Structure 1
Amino acid sequence: MKITILLTAVVYLAAANPLQNVSTLHCTGECQQGAKAPLMNRVMRLKLKEHEECVKEHQCPTVAPALSDTPCVSGRAGEYECSNVDLLSFVPLKDMGCNGDGNDIWGWTDSDTKKEYAIVGCQDGTSFVDITEPTKPVVMGFMKTQTVSSLWRDIKVFKDHAFVVSEARNHGMQVYDLTELRNLIPGQIYELTPTVYYSEMGNTHNIVANEETGFMYAVGTSTCRGGLHMIDVKDPKDPKFVGCFAGDGYVHDAQCVIYKGPDEKYTGMEICFCYNEDTLTIVDVTNKNEPKQLATKPYAGSQYTHQGWLNEEQSHLLMNDELDEMYGSRKNTRSMIWNVKDLANPTLVDSFYSEKEAVDHNLYIRGKLAYESNYSAGLRILNIETITNTDPKLEEVGFFDVSPEHNGVTFNGAWSAYVYFESQSIIVSSIERGLFVLKYTGPEAM
């Protein structure tokens, strides 16, 4: 079945408020200091070199036809290998307005209309796609990069606003009022502009949202020694710099929560679990003026501590290392299981190894399932019900390979996924191909 994607015209839509620099610079002193020789520089060089080769081979981007309503039958959904995951739709990069490859992805549910949207990062900007009817996605608009193109872009959402950062030079943070999408007429791709612009940091690797508190944490910036650059976004149209955590150097990614776990000393505090290139680092950021490092824990076999996510009880987390499959003793994807019941003494208790040889990237947990975007192996879904056991036996219960032409330990394929829609639609970004809208059909389905 062919998909209907409305791409008949490109029009310009001004934001509700003019683009403006909304706050006086407060990032001074130590805040203006970058990280000293972060390992990320090495990782980025590796990825850029591989991407250059991919472009030469005419696979970055990869041209593939749009698809819709393609169930997983006998291990395949069209050309894509799968298990317990149906393809609801696929939107190619070009159809989303992207010129070049894709990268990160996030989702938004309109607080008024309850429509669901995929927000997809690309080399040259950000695409907004209505997936409310998941077999009939509609591309609504495209927001260009603030400065230049980059392979790295990241998006998070708070109070119906998207916050977009990039490794692009001097990019800062774009803030877009997502309620403006309600005014767009289906059948056109609108050229969107940021509602406001935050310029207190330049290039940024990731943006972390705590939706419970209204703070964003920019990480991997040229400020705060690469650590947590803290931004108050309770009023999304007036983001304000409020502090730094620079005590453990470069933070690649993090998860910040109001703590409800078993370590009662920190109940109700705002805690960030940081992935700091070679350690798991835990920080109390309740007081933005005086953040307190609770723990920094290295582990055997580390190559590049990348990202992780807490289980819903906040007693354990899964963590990935982006280079251990490439430079470690085993090529099979490794997911590390940490006990974080004592925030001052997190402990690596076990590892789950996939049958596939692939590099792991972003992972997210919802309920008893973990959703891992493992590059050339695609989306892999693990049952983590036993994660709290003394002898955890994680089990892969589904997968969908978004990159049929790539296999092995490479940086091609699935970049990330968003799994928190009420409809249970799953969106996955393929670096070379575009947006996949999927449905998990296996055991312990959401």
Structure 2
Amino acid sequence: MKFILAILICVAVCQARPQNDDHRHHDHTEYNKSAPCVGKCSEPGPVTFHMAQVKKLKEKAYAECHAEGKCPLNEPSIRQRSPCVDGKSAGQYECSNVDMMSYVSLRDMGSSGDGNDIWGWTDEPEPGVRFEYAIVGTHDGTSFVDVTNAEDPTVLGFLPTHTRNSMWRDVKVYENHAFIVSEASDHGMQVFNLLRLRQRPPAGTVPRLKADAHYGKVGNAHNIVINEETGYAYIVGSEQYWHLEYIPCAGGLHIVDIREPLSPRFLACYGRDYYTHDAQCVIYHGPDVRYYGNEICFAYNENTLTIIDVTNKKNMVMLSRTKYKNVAYTHQGWLTEDHAYLISNDELDEKYGKVQHTRSLLWDVKNLQAPVHYSSFMSTEKAIDHNLYIRGNLAYETNYCAGLRILDITDMAEGAEQVREVAYFDVAPDWDSVSFHGSWSSYPFFESGNVIVSSIERGLFVLRPNHEAIKRLQEEAKLKRKAISH
């Protein structure tokens, strides 16, 4: 009887499982049935994902780094301010207009592996009281660090990975909860109540934490995007789909309702353009009046900037799909605060020699149906670019071996020649190459003005840009432009 039952279960599972395990060959209409595209669109996206190739490149680089004993380095933590003097901080980190407030090693954060992504959270338990926290992704989990006292951070706990270790982990925050995904198979999404961090552990200890909830309708995923204005999470780059609990989204937007953080609920898919590597989803308040007030996702889909109106989750519409010159791997980007422009990066154009220096692509997105890549800022550095964020008129880029680079983008509308680097801090003094080492990401949104940066080999850096010096440089540039115009 048990044998017959086992056969019946096997048959049911095989029938439920797609006949072709590679979802890239699936009919994309099951992911979204809306009209193809209403605006400027290049030919359909590639059916074969390129992320697997990127993974192999990085895995090889980190394996070699480990073999050489350089990953993780775990140099002793530095819990004091190290000003940037004569181009150096703490005697080894190249810098300009950025001081190091402190550095916390991966080991001290509770990890035994390399670092990856980072995000921040601000806790305001009562009016006038503010605590700032770094949430640091690592090979084997997620570390939570109080960086309110920037010169003496406190590690509060470590949340182990849900399944296996992975060099890819990503985290975002909504309503005092952290939402964590990973490329580790079967990982899904962990949910952690950040208010638990108010209970401080005994000094010198790093307690092992447990997630408060788990969402299992995805397996591995590359990234998570959260629109804090709507309470929707967009899990992207999820490739593992065949398990009965998993919901296939063709690697595109896997949308989860997280308005009740501890009860995440699957909502919809958008996979018409297949794999999304990263995205930014906002309530749009830019100049394209046709979409003002709509929820718009700006997706970075391996070889295009793809813009999607996701307001109606039952009928999401691609507004445009745009390529650009010398594309290698469209990675990530961020909108200016007026939603009229954005800056994006390409992770492999330097690696493959398509450009000779780190390139930041400037886009005019005033017309969501016809965005234009109108200029590119070329750095003096030759590093691979990675994540970037924009706050006010400054862009904060983390470019692997070149570290944190801060750009003045006040007049970026006039072209790349009006963009100027005003500060930097290189967290990888041992690396000076076009390789996947050094800084992974940053978080520049704290009210204190401090910026936290994650280093793959070292850990957490708490940095303090010299905002007064940066403003002086901006004023000088403004006066120079004014003089030229007259």
If the length of structure 2 is used for normalisation, what is the TM-score? 0.84
Task: Note if contact 1:33-1:224 (Cα within 8 Å) is conserved in structure 2.
Answer: no
Aligned residue number for residue 269 of structure 1: 294
Equivalent residue of 1:51, what SS? helix
Equivalent residue of 2:63, what SS? helix
Structure 1 Cα separation of the partners of residues 93 and 23 of structure 2: 42
Give deviations 1:35-78, integer Å, cap 9, x for gaps: 44310000000000111111111001113121121000000001
Structure 2 Cα separation of the partners of residues 237 and 303 of structure 1: 39
Structure 2 Cα separation of the partners of residues 291 and 175 of structure 1: 27
Give deviations 1:385-426, integer Å, cap 9, x for gaps: 011225651100000000000012000000000011111110
User: Residue 212 of structure 1: CA displacement?
Assistant: 0.6
Give deviations 1:266-315, integer Å, cap 9, x for gaps: 00000000000000000000011111100000111000000000001100
1:92 paired with 2:120, answer no
Equivalent residue of 2:390, what SS? strand
User: Residue 34 of structure 1: CA displacement?
Assistant: 3.6
1:444 paired with 2:471, answer yes
1:329 paired with 2:350, answer no
1:299 paired with 2:324, answer yes
Give deviations 1:86-114, integer Å, cap 9, x for gaps: 00000000000011100000000013252
Kindly tell me: are residues 260 and 184 of structure 1, through their superposed partners in 2, closer, same or farther at Cα, counting changes over 3 Å? same
1:420 paired with 2:432, answer no
Equivalent residue of 2:136, what SS? strand
Aligned residue number for residue 350 of structure 1: 375
- Say which of 91, 100, 118 aligns to 1:105: 118
Kindly tell me: are residues 287 and 73 of structure 1, through their superposed partners in 2, closer, same or farther at Cα, counting changes over 3 Å? same
Give deviations 1:17-46, integer Å, cap 9, x for gaps: xxxxxxxxxx999xx974443100000000
Structure 2 Cα separation of the partners of residues 324 and 307 of structure 1: 13
One-letter code of the match for 2:124? S
Aligned residue number for residue 55 of structure 2: 44
One-letter code of the match for 2:216? S
Task: Note if contact 2:74-2:459 (Cα within 8 Å) is conserved in structure 1.
Answer: no
1:77 paired with 2:89, answer yes
- Say which of 153, 171, 181 aligns to 1:155: 171
Structure 1 Cα separation of the partners of residues 354 and 442 of structure 2: 28
Structure 2 Cα separation of the partners of residues 274 and 253 of structure 1: 6
Task: Note if contact 1:34-1:221 (Cα within 8 Å) is conserved in structure 2.
Answer: no
- Say which of 372, 388, 400 aligns to 1:363: 388
Structure 2 Cα separation of the partners of residues 111 and 293 of structure 1: 38
One-letter code of the match for 1:90? Y
Structure 2 Cα separation of the partners of residues 423 and 59 of structure 1: 33
CA RMSD of aligned residues (A): 1.7
Aligned residue number for residue 116 of structure 1: 132
Equivalent residue of 2:354, what SS? coil
- Which 5+ residue runs of structure 1 have no aligned equivalent? 1-26
Aligned residue number for residue 10 of structure 1: none
One-letter code of the match for 1:344? Q
- Say which of 295, 298, 303 aligns to 1:278: 303
Task: Note if contact 1:163-1:175 (Cα within 8 Å) is conserved in structure 2.
Answer: yes
Structure 1 Cα separation of the partners of residues 374 and 69 of structure 2: 43
Task: Note if contact 2:330-2:346 (Cα within 8 Å) is conserved in structure 1.
Answer: yes
Kindly name which structure, 1 or 2, has the bigger radius of gyration based on alpha carbons: 2
Structure 2 Cα separation of the partners of residues 391 and 179 of structure 1: 43
1:240 paired with 2:265, answer yes
Number of residue pairs aligned between Structure 1 and Structure 2: 419
Equivalent residue of 2:163, what SS? coil
Structure 2 Cα separation of the partners of residues 148 and 389 of structure 1: 47
Kindly tell me: are residues 186 and 269 of structure 1, through their superposed partners in 2, closer, same or farther at Cα, counting changes over 3 Å? farther
Aligned residue number for residue 183 of structure 1: 199
Task: Note if contact 1:117-1:129 (Cα within 8 Å) is conserved in structure 2.
Answer: yes
Higher strand proportion: 1
Structure 2 Cα separation of the partners of residues 183 and 282 of structure 1: 42
Aligned residue number for residue 129 of structure 1: 145
Kindly tell me: are residues 153 and 303 of structure 1, through their superposed partners in 2, closer, same or farther at Cα, counting changes over 3 Å? same
Equivalent residue of 1:248, what SS? coil
